[in-house]
Amino acid sequence: MSRRILVTGASGMLGSHVLSVLSAKNDVLGWSHGADRAPLHRIDATHAGQVEQFFRTHTPEVCVHCIASPDVLACERDPHMAAQLNSQTTKQVARACTEYGAKLVYISSEYVFDGTASDGYTEDSQPRPLQIYGETKLRGEEHAAQVPHHLTVRLPVLYGGPVPGRKPTWLEAMLRSLEQGLPVELDDHFERQPTWSYDVATVLARAIDEEVEGILHVATQEGLTKYAWGVKVAEAAGLPSSLLRPVPAPPETSGPRKPARPWLHTHRLQQLGISPPPGVSERAAAYVRSLGGAWRT
C-alpha cells in the first residue's frame, strides 16, 4: 500500500538512503535545510510555523525524523545548537504529527546509554546519557513518545556514502591517506556496532510497512573498534592496512565522555522476523564500491 511519507533531514547520509528506499513504493517528500528541489523542500524544522504549514499543506501519513546534529564534540561546544536540532525539531515535528494524525518514526542513538552494562542494552533498559548529544537525543525520545503509535529507532554509529556539501567522513579521509602512503592512527578502545546506513533504511521501510510501534533497536551484532573497522575497509579497498596504527584508551579529560560499549541488542527486531543488518565484515566491499573512488585525489 502506497503512502505519503515525509523524511526530514533527507539530504543527509541516512536520510538520503531512507528517501531512496521508501520511494520505491511510496509518495515520498523530503526536508532539507539547504536544498529546494523535488522531492526536497527547504524547511527550517526549528520554526513551528514552517513545520505546521508543511503538514497542513502536504498531510503526510508517516514522518521519518532524521534531522540531528550527530557531532558529539560540536554538541558539547554548542549546547543551544544541539538542543535546537536534536530536541526542538523533534518537539515541533511531534506536535504536527499529533495534530495531523501522522505516524512519527524518530531516529535516536546508542548514546542515550552510558555503556557500562556488560551485557548490553534492550529497548527496556534505562537510558543514562553521558554528554549533551545523548541528553538531547533522549529529550527527543520523550517528545516522540507523546505521538500516538510512534516508533523510536535507536541506532549505533553509521557509515555511508559522501554527503554533498559536507566534509569527507573519517573513512574517506583514512582511505585517502592510505592511498598517499600516510599512516593513520585509529582508536582501538571503544567498541561499536558500525552499520551501513542503506541497511538501516531497508529495515526502517519494513518496520513502517508492518506498523511497528514503541522502541526498536536496529544494529549489526558485529562489534568492532574504529581500528578493526578501518582495517576491514582498507583491505576491501586494496590499500595497506599495515599503515593503520591502533591507539589505546584516550585520557578521560580528552573531549566529551563516550560510552565504552553501548551495545544495542536486537532481540525485538528478531522477534518481529527481521534480521539485524550485516556487519562490516560482510559489507566492507560493497561500501567501498559505493564510494566510486570518492577518496582519491
Q: What is the pLDDT of residue 142?
A: 97
**What CATH number has the domain spanning 4-167+196-221+263-278?**
3.40.50.720
Q: Is 75 exposed, middle or buried (0-12, 13-18, 19+ CB in 10 A)?
A: buried
The number of C-alpha atoms within 13 Å of 296 and in the hemisphere containing its C-beta is 7
Mean predicted confidence (pLDDT) in 144-166: 91
Q: What is the pLDDT of residue 126?
A: 96
Instruction: Kindly tell me if the per-residue pLDDT of 252 is higher than 80.
Output: no
pLDDT above 70: percentage of residues in the chain: 95
* Separation in Å, CA 44 to CA 33, 48, 137, 146: 6, 9, 19, 22
pLDDT above 90: percentage of residues in the chain: 81
Mean predicted confidence (pLDDT) in 134-157: 97
Mean predicted confidence (pLDDT) in 232-238: 96
Mean predicted confidence (pLDDT) in 158-167: 81
Pairing of the two strands 244-247 and 184-187: parallel
Q: Are 284 and 274 in contact (CB under 8 A)?
A: no
Q: What is the pLDDT of residue 256?
A: 79
